[in-house]
Amino acid sequence: MTDLADRAAVETYVGLKLIAVAEALGQVENNVTIFPAGLPAPLARALSFAKGTAPGLLIVPEPPTAADHLKALAALRWQKSQTFNFDGVDAAPADSALAAVTGFVVAAQIAPPEGATVWKLAQNEFRLWTFEQVMAYGIAIRSHIQACFDREETLTALIVAADEPWSVDITAGWPT
């Protein structure tokens, strides 16, 4: 009887450890355990059982392809180009702000503003700017967007040249 109790205690302990490892390594989506690529199949299967997911539904995804990584890079470039710091403020989305500046400049050429103009940088952040200051803001927006495209170009070249494209860190080095 003691041997059975000891065995049950060991099995419970090992089972709890397997569950802890499975929680750390895998995620469950629709009763399917997803583990990182490269995990040996027997270990992944044991961890799947420990988590209570169905056997045979185990997915060990392949590393992303260069095309996948380039798609993620383009999405990140879009995100990074949407806001930037100007005059100590995280300014409004760059594309809409650039359109507003462009509209202001075109209108100012037709009918120049009389004096300074109130400009909204972000929520609760307004500035009283001259025509030249609005122009400087527009140039800063355009420069920021171009810097984001330049960063994407650099990272694209690294991904395309890499033997393991997914190993290229696409999150670092972006302009702010």
Neighbours of 45 (CB within 10 A): 16
Cα-flanking dihedrals φ and ψ of residue 76, to 5°? -65, -40
Do the beta carbons of residue 27 and residue 34 sit within 8 Å?
A: yes
Structure token pair of residue 74:
């383009």
The pLDDT score that the predictor gives to residue 87 is 86
CB of 47 closer than 8 Å to CB of 33: yes
According to the model, what pLDDT value does residue 57 have?
A: 46
Measured CA distances, 150 to 30, 38, 130, 145, 171 (Å): 40, 34, 30, 9, 14
Instruction: Tokens 């109130």: give the residue.
Output: 118
Per-residue pLDDT at 126? 92
Assess contact for 75 and 47: CB atoms under 8 A.
no
Which stretches in the chain have pLDDT values below 70?
1-41, 43-61
Give the residue among 173, 171, 158, 174 at the shortest CA–CA distance from 66.
158
Helix, strand, coil proportions of the chain in percent (round to 5)? 60, 10, 30
**pTM for this predicted structure:** 0.63
CA angle 108, 97, 173 (to 5 degrees): 135
| pLDDT for 166 | 86
CA dist., res. 174 & res. 176, Å (int):
6
In the chain, domain spans:
2-51, 66-167
What is the per-residue pLDDT for 146? 94
